[in-house]
Amino acid sequence: MTNIHDERHFELTVNGERRQVVDGYPGESLLTVLRDRLGLTGAKGACEEGECGSCSVLLDGNLVCSCLVLAASATQSSVVTIEGLGGSTDVQTAFVECGAIQCGFCTPGLIMAATNLLERSTEPQTDEIREALAGNLCRCTGYGRIVEAVQTVVVQRSQGAS
Amino acid sequence: MSDLGIRESSLTGGLGQSPLRPDGIAKSEGAYEFSSDLSADNMLIGKTLRSPHQHARIVSIDTAPALAITGVHRIITADDVPGKPTYGLISSDQPVFAADVVRYIGEPIAAVVADDEDICARAIEAIEVVYEVLPALADARLAKDPNTPSIHPDGNVIREQNVVTGDLSVVGDVIVEDHYSIGMQDQAFLGLESALAIPDEDRAGVECHVATQWLHEDLGQVAACLDLPTSAVRLVLGGVGGAFGGREDLSLQVHVCLLALATGRPVKMHYSRSESFLGHVHRHPAEIWMRHHATSEGILVKIEAEFVFDGGAYASTSSAVLVNAVTHAQGPYRCENAEVKGIAVRTNNLPCGAMRGFGVVQACFAHERQMDLLAQACGLDPLEIRRRNAMSTGDRLITGQVVESVAPVSEIIEGLSRMPFPEGAGAVEQHPYEMPGGAGNTTRPGDVVRGIGYGLSIKNLMYSEAFDDYSTARCQLRDGIVTLKFATAEVGQGFITIAPQIARSTLGLEEVELDAIDTNVGSAGSTSASRQTWMSGGAVEAACLRVRELVYQHVATTQGTDPLVYAIDGAELVNTSTGDRRPMTEVVVGLEFDEEVEYRHRPTVPLDENGQGDCHTAFAFVGHRAVVDVDIELGLVRVVEMSTVQDVGRALNPLSVTGQIEGGIAQGLGLALMEEIIQRDGRIMNPSFTDYLIPTIADMPPVVAELIEIPDPQAPMGAKGVGEPPTISSTPAVISAVQDAMNTAYGSAPHLRRVPLQPSDVAKTVNAGLGD
């Protein structure tokens, strides 16, 4: 029988740091813990049922919707959020420069998804890009500039500019 | 140094360029604060109790069991609203909290403030409300029957507006008619409603950080309900995660301020996705009948139409939406005779109001389906029928208003006709991803039929019918830096990008900073109606022009010249009589100016009872072509490509214009193929992104866009608003393309009359065909 008290205090590895989660509820999602307990508001909540991808983070290198991950189950994992990318990565820069950002609410999730795609596939075709990002909703851009941003990074990296 | 004619310095980040969004890097790093990211020390959480009934009398509300829960601080109801008990954009008919009657499922009844979200949820459960359920009025057609009991003291008819002109006895050689309907669409902005209210220490005022489209309108409505002077309420724009009309009405603003004032502590409220579907107004569902009369050559001679808009329980902007629909019934086509009837009614359904396209979406779907029918009846190509009727500048609308705006409808049609077509349909070697059904792998290549369809539209820009529409901007020059101040809501559209561009080009100075967007300056009006580039852009330009004039005067005084000889070229001041040039950065050393301007567009007038009058300010035009592949057996549609030619006046920021075009088309495609709020007995059956579908990146095809840049003489900088047109005629273009595929497959097929299209609309044709 697990002690509830223990579950309210646990550690997560987020962006390379061990972080203490104090006074959490055992049933809280990773998204809630990141945003409300650890003050990392880069991951966004827009549906809280895994449909919109706004809360995307990397869990041991895998793209997940943090709203669907029980925070207490992630204690042995490495979590990387948008804040952990370091800023000004080629993907982040391409999103800014290609006009892939309007309101920007979906942006952190899309950048996590695009970053993950480009780790798995160095030269994805357009249909592969579309399929890989199909779990991330954007209501402003119509996605054209987002595809453009990812393709821009693909070209840059193939030319050794990364 | 005199080198007139040789451009010494170019200006970086001026008009016509596409500088980066000032907030882009922060947004890309997750550092940008949306209203939902805000917090404050000692903050409490608020939550709303909503009606479970479509129509009921509130017999009693017992909050005691909820107040007894540890961690609950206050519960407020209609009794706790100190000021005006109601609010509304045009008519103040919506209660802050329902007092005696609830009129739709989701209507706020009370609000709880507690230590955290979970306690709030338990408290909401614990509030005991006794209802006496009343018969619900759910059918808009019944609502307009005078024998139907009123569900609101203001009656069931929100507005009736007809447009009648010309000779109504005219009968065409060719007549086509049909009934059309449009489902209820949601704005589905990703950033959910949220606000943080911070009370003043003495509780005599409050500061509210909120994601909204119109700070000053909110301010007026909120202050009235709080019974505070507007000076005691400060609204600050919280980061806005999209809007599309859904943030033009109040949602949680009054509630969160009341809770903060009641507790003396900062209070945050934020909606979940399912609550958001209840918490803002939607695009009106509409039933439309249209009959078009034309000569045998396809020239329109008369239009007849009837519109019924379901406004839901409260008025919101229904009356203005209706006016847009009836005054745009003709589309971008010439027609002298018209009899258009329109009514917007109240029902016990969800309140409806503003959404991108604002009444014109509904009208355009119907008139463009009609133009296709007319083309067919006259044996003409769909572009040819449109070409023969294309409106141009100087034409008179059915309202009697002359179109003074540049109206390049013929150019749009020519542009569309020149667009190359994407590669062949339903080829066997197509990857499953590229076929209808996509990764679902449901489509057999042999079932795929390609279709092509067109849609054209006209859209009014800015507000109409004598509304005093203005925007305020302040331009300060100090230490060579320009600071702009305005209350223009940045909702993602990019006004914060073009405002500095305007300042740079007007003043020849590259360093431009933006002050906070809040109510410490005059109103900017709403970020809606495709109006901010024109209105707030006009205000920023005017304020910068005043400062520029003062710079010219200063230089003229010190140089003993006439201020009229000066001009800005790039980043330099040019003396046009001598050709002398100086960098503006040098010219403005030591100069300090501060100018505030209210910009107004020309006045408009209300429509008379026959719908006559110069009610609109200006117009923009657009055309779309959709290419679709249809799985004719399963009724699945894949949009292969969307092409568009759009009249933009002048593209002040080409990248932003592209963004508006692509994003707007996505919403039009969504309405055509998937987006509808389904209500059963007033209850939303699909209040989630699992069940309310919006286009994903896999649904959106490439967009080929051509801009028509004919600067509009009436528009500041020649630029027309570009936000709404992409959404409007993209919807009928997609449906027309599906129709074309169905006609190709079966020789002829039933006329498609409703959006969103259901797979069964296509598949039942197959079944009917098989049954023959």
pLDDT digits (tens, 9 = 90+) for A20-61: 998 888 789 999 999 999 999 999 999 999 999 999 999 999
| pLDDT at residue A23, rounded to an integer | 81
Test A92 with B431 for CB contact under 8 angstroms: no
Nearest to A47 among B240, B689, B696 (CB): B689
Q: Are A35 and A41 in contact (CB under 8 A)?
A: yes
Which class for B395: exposed (0-12), middle (13-18), buried (19 or more C-beta within 10 A)? middle
> What CATH architecture does domain A87-158 belong to?
Orthogonal Bundle (1.10)
Nearby residues of A138 by Cβ (< 8 Å), 6 or more positions away: A106, A110, A146, B190, B697
Give contacts of B659 with chain A, Cβ < 8 Å: 99, 102, 140-142, 145
Q: Are B676 and B185 in contact (CB under 8 A)?
A: yes
Give contacts of B662 with chain A, Cβ < 8 Å: 141-145
Query: Between residues 390 and 429 of chain B, which touch chain A (CB distance below 8 Å)?
Result: none
Please state, in angstroms and rounded to a whole number, the distance separating the CA atoms of residues B16 and B648: 12
Q: Are B382 and B298 in contact (CB under 8 A)?
A: no
Query: Between residues 707 and 726 of chain B, which touch chain A (CB distance below 8 Å)?
Result: none
| pLDDT at residue A111, rounded to an integer | 98
Please give the backbone phi and psi of residue B150, each rounded to the nearest 5 degrees, phi first.
Answer: -70, 140
Q: Are B171 and B743 in contact (CB under 8 A)?
A: no
Q: Are B690 and B325 in contact (CB under 8 A)?
A: no
Domain ranges (residues) in chain A: 4-84, 87-158
Nearest to A131 among B439, B695, B702 (CB): B439
Between B730-746 and B360-378, two packed helices, what is the crossing angle to 10 degrees?
A: 30
Q: How many CA atoms lie within 13 A of B45 on its CB side?
A: 16
Tell me the one-letter amino acid at B420: P
Q: Are B127 and B63 in contact (CB under 8 A)?
A: yes
Classify residue B5 by its DSSP letter. T
Nearest to A139 among B23, B434, B694 (CB): B694
Distances in Å between the Cα of B477 and the Cα atoms of B11, B44, B486, B547 are 18, 41, 15, 8
DSSP output for B449-490: EEEEEEEEEEEEES--TT---EEEEEEEEETTEEEEEE----
Please state, in angstroms and rounded to a whole number, the distance separating the CA atoms of residues B749 and B741: 9
Q: How many CA atoms lie within 13 A of B667 on its CB side?
A: 30
Query: Between residues 492 and 531 of chain B, which touch chain A (CB distance below 8 Å)?
Result: 492-494
| pLDDT at residue B423, rounded to an integer | 82
Please state, in angstroms and rounded to a whole number, the distance separating the CA atoms of residues B36 and B191: 8
Please state, in angstroms and rounded to a whole number, the distance separating the CA atoms of residues A106 and A44: 8
Residues of chain A with pLDDT under 50: 1-4, 162
Q: What is the CA radius of gyration of chain B?
A: 27
Q: Identify any residues that bridge with B454 across adjacent strands, giving them in sequence order.
A: B625
B482 Cα distance to chain centroid: 31
User: Residues of CATH 3.30.365.10 domain(s) within chain B?
Assistant: 24-32+470-600, 395-461+610-772
Residues of chain B with pLDDT under 70: 1-9, 425-429, 765-772
Q: Which CATH class is domain A4-84?
A: alpha beta
Q: Are B14 and B652 in contact (CB under 8 A)?
A: no
Q: How far is the first Cα of chain B from the last one, in angstroms, to the nearest whole number?
A: 87
B368-377 pLDDT, tens digit each: 999 999 999 9
Q: Which CATH class is domain B395-461+610-772?
A: alpha beta
| pLDDT at residue A1, rounded to an integer | 39
Q: Which CATH class is domain B24-32+470-600?
A: alpha beta
Q: How many CA atoms lie within 13 A of B106 on its CB side?
A: 25
Q: Are B689 and B618 in contact (CB under 8 A)?
A: no
Q: Identify any residues that bridge with B198 across adjacent strands, giving them in sequence order.
A: B207
* B240 in reach of chain A (CB within 8 A): yes
Q: Are B380 and B357 in contact (CB under 8 A)?
A: no
Tell me how long chain B is. 772
pTM over cut 0.90: yes
For tokens 């349909």, name the residue: B425
Q: Are B716 and B599 in contact (CB under 8 A)?
A: yes
- Interface TM-score (ipTM) > 0.95: yes
Three-state SS letters, B14-42: CCCCCCCCCCHHHHHCCCCCEHHHCCCCC
Cα–Cα nearest to A138, from B88, B188, B70: B188
Q: What is the CA radius of gyration of chain A?
A: 16
Name the closest residue on chain B to residue A109, using Cα atoms. Answer: B30
Nearest to A134 among B20, B493, B696 (CB): B696
State whether the Cα torsion B65-B66-B69-B75 is positive or negative. Answer: negative
B40-87 pLDDT, tens digit each: 999 999 999 999 999 999 999 999 999 999 999 999 999 999 999 999
| pLDDT at residue B431, rounded to an integer | 76
Nearest to B20 among A40, A92, A96 (CB): A96
Q: Are B537 and B502 in contact (CB under 8 A)?
A: yes
Test A142 with B662 for CB contact under 8 angstroms: yes
Q: How many A×B Cβ pairs under 8 Å?
A: 175
Chain B interface, mutation test: which of A37, A38, A58, A102, most B Cβ atoms within 10 Å?
A: A102
Please state, in angstroms and rounded to a whole number, the distance separating the CA atoms of residues B475 and B602: 23
